[in-house]
C-alpha cells in the first residue's frame, strides 16, 4: 500500500488536453479549412490593394519613384476635380432620396392589401444588372419624344398648357403678298374693308397639316369687313394648280392667327377657320395683316436630359429607380419589429398620422435608416456602370465620377500611376463609412 502510494507520488502528471475551438474542432484542422479562403483573399484583395498603394507612388512607366505627384493630380487635374465634385453630389443626394423613398414605400405598403405586390414591383429593378439598367435609361432619356419616355411625358405636359405650332416650316412662296418680319410675316400693302385678301403660304407637307384642316375656299368680300384666305398654295403634280389662287385640292391653315396692325399696334385679330377663311372688323381697314411668329415656332422637343447640365441628375434618377426597392425591403423589415403598442399609444394620446410617423416611427427606425443610408453611400462611391453607359460621349466629361475616371486614366489614357492613386483615394473614402456601418451593426447585435 505504501509502495503504491510512493509510486503514485513520484509519477508524472497527466498530459493536458489539446486545445479545441468553440465548435470542438482542433485549431490546426480549422486553419487547414480556412487556408484556401485566406489564399484567395490574399490573392484577390490584399495583394491588389498593396500593389495599388505601391504603384500610386511610382511614375507612369512604373520604373521610378514619383512621390506624391500622383496624389497632387487628384486636386489639379480638371477631369478628376469634376469627378470628385460629382461624387459629392452622388453621396449627398442619391442615398438620401433612395432611403426617403424606401421609407415612404415601406410605411404606405403596410396599410394596403396589395402591399406585397407593390413591394415586388418596386424591388424588381434590383434584379436587373447595371448594364441593362443603363441601356434602358439611355433610351428613356432619348431627346426625341417619339423614342424617349421622359421627353414624351414632358412634352405632353408642356403641350397641355402651351400648344405647339402646327406650321413651323410654313413660309411665303413666289410672288407672295407677304414679307418676313420678326419671325412672322406681314403684308406688303395695307388692306381695305369690303375686299377679300389672299395669304398664300407653302412649306407644310399635306400629311403634316392639322387634322381639322379642310379644303380651302376663296373668302367672299363683305361690306365693312376685311375677309381673306390663308392656305397651303401647293398642289402635287407638275403644272397642276395656279399660283396665288385657291385650287380644289389645297387645304386651309386651320387655327392660324391673323392680326391687323396699324402704327405698330394690333387693332384687331382673328383665327383662320378650318377652310382657311378669316374675317376682321372694320378696324382692320387701312391696316397691314400680320401672321405672328407664334404661328411658326418650332414644336417643343422637351429637355436635353443627357446634356451637360442635366446628365448627372438624370443618372442619379436611374440609380434611385434601382435602389429604392432595396431600401424599402430593409426598412420594411425594421418596421415589422416596431412595437405596435407604441404607435397605438401615440394615437390614443391624440397624435395624428403625420405626428406618429415623424415622432414615433422615424425615431424607432433610426438605426435601420442609418444602416441603409451608409450602405448606399458606400455603393455610390463606387458607381461606374450607369455613368459609363447612360452618359453620351459629348456629356461624359460632365457626368464623370471617380470610378469612371479611374477606368479612363488606367486604360484609355495609359496613366496607371494616377489611376492607382484614384483607387487608393476611393478606398480611403470608403473605409470610414464602412467602419461606421460595422460598429453600428455590432451595437445592434449586442442589444
Q: What is the pLDDT of residues 315-349, one digit of tens each?
A: 999 999 999 999 999 999 888 888 888 888 988 88
Helix then strand then coil, % of the chain, to nearest 5 = 55, 10, 35
**pLDDT at res. 442:** 78
What's the order of all strands across the beta sheet hosting 178-181? 178-181, 184-187, 288-291, 257-262, 265-271
Task: Kindly give the parts of the chain with pLDDT less than 50.
Answer: 1-9
Instruction: Tell me the three state secondary structure of residue 139.
Output: helix
**pLDDT at res. 18:** 54
To which H or E segment does residue 178 belong? strand 178-181
**pLDDT at res. 380:** 92
> Of the candidates 411, 417, 447, which has an alpha carbon nearest to the alpha carbon of residue 71?
417
Amino acid at each position: 500500500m505504501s509502495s503504491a502510494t510512493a509510486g503514485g507520488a513520484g509519477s508524472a502528471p497527466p498530459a493536458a488536453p489539446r486545445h479545441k475551438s468553440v465548435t470542438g474542432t482542433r485549431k490546426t484542422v480549422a486553419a487547414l479549412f480556412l487556408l484556401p479562403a485566406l489564399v484567395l483573399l490574399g490573392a484577390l484583395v490584399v495583394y491588389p490593394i498593396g500593389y495599388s498603394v505601391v504603384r500610386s507612388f511610382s511614375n507612369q512607366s512604373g520604373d521610378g519613384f514619383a512621390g506624391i505627384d500622383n496624389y497632387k493630380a487628384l486636386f489639379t487635374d480638371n477631369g478628376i476635380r469634376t469627378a470628385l465634385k460629382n461624387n459629392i453630389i452622388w453621396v449627398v443626394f442619391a442615398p438620401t432620396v433612395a432611403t426617403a423613398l424606401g421609407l415612404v414605400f415601406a410605411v404606405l405598403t403596410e396599410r394596403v392589401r396589395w402591399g406585397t405586390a407593390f413591394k415586388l414591383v418596386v424591388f424588381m429593378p434590383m434584379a436587373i444588372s447595371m448594364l441593362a439598367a443603363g441601356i434602358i435609361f439611355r433610351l428613356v432619356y432619348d431627346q426625341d419624344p417619339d423614342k424617349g419616355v421622359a421627353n414624351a411625358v414632358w412634352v405632353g405636359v408642356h403641350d397641355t398648357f402651351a400648344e405647339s405650332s402646327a406650321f413651323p416650316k410654313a413660309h411665303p412662296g413666289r410672288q407672295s403678298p407677304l414679307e418676313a418680319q420678326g419671325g412672322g410675316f406681314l403684308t406688303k400693302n395695307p388692306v381695305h374693308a369690303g375686299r377679300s385678301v389672299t395669304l398664300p403660304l407653302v412649306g407644310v407637307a399635306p400629311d403634316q397639316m392639322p387634322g381639322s384642316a379642310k379644303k380651302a375656299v376663296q373668302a367672299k368680300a363683305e361690306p365693312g369687313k376685311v375677309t381673306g384666305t390663308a392656305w397651303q398654295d401647293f398642289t402635287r403634280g407638275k403644272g397642276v394648280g395656279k399660283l396665288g389662287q385657291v385650287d380644289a385640292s389645297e387645304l386651309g391653315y386651320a387655327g392660324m392667327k391673323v392680326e391687323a396692325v396699324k402704327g405698330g399696334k394690333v387693332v384687331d385679330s382673328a383665327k383662320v377657320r378650318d377652310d382657311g377663311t378669316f374675317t376682321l372688323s372694320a378696324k382692320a381697314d387701312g391696316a397691314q395683316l400680320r401672321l405672328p411668329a407664334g404661328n411658326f415656332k418650332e414644336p417643343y422637343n422637351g429637355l436635353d436630359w443627357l446634356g451637360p447640365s442635366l446628365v448627372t441628375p438624370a443618372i442619379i434618377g436611374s440609380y434611385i429607380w434601382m435602389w429604392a426597392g432595396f431600401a424599402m425591403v430593409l426598412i420594411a423589415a425594421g418596421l415589422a419589429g416596431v412595437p405596435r403598442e407604441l404607435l397605438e399609444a401615440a394615437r390614443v394620446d391624440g397624435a395624428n398620422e403625420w405626428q406618429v410617423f415623424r415622432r414615433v416611427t422615424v425615431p424607432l427606425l433610426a438605426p435601420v435608416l442609418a444602416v441603409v443610408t451608409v450602405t448606399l453611400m458606400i455603393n455610390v462611391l463606387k458607381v461606374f456602370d450607369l455613368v459609363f453607359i447612360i452618359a453620351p460621349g459629348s456629356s461624359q466629361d460632365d457626368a464623370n465620377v471617380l470610378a469612371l475616371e479611374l477606368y479612363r486614366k488606367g486604360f484609355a489614357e495609359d496613366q496607371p500611376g494616377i489611376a492607382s492613386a484614384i483607387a487608393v483615394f476611393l478606398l480611403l473614402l470608403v473605409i470610414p463609412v464602412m467602419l461606421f456601418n460595422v460598429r453600428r451593426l455590432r451595437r445592434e447585435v449586442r442589444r
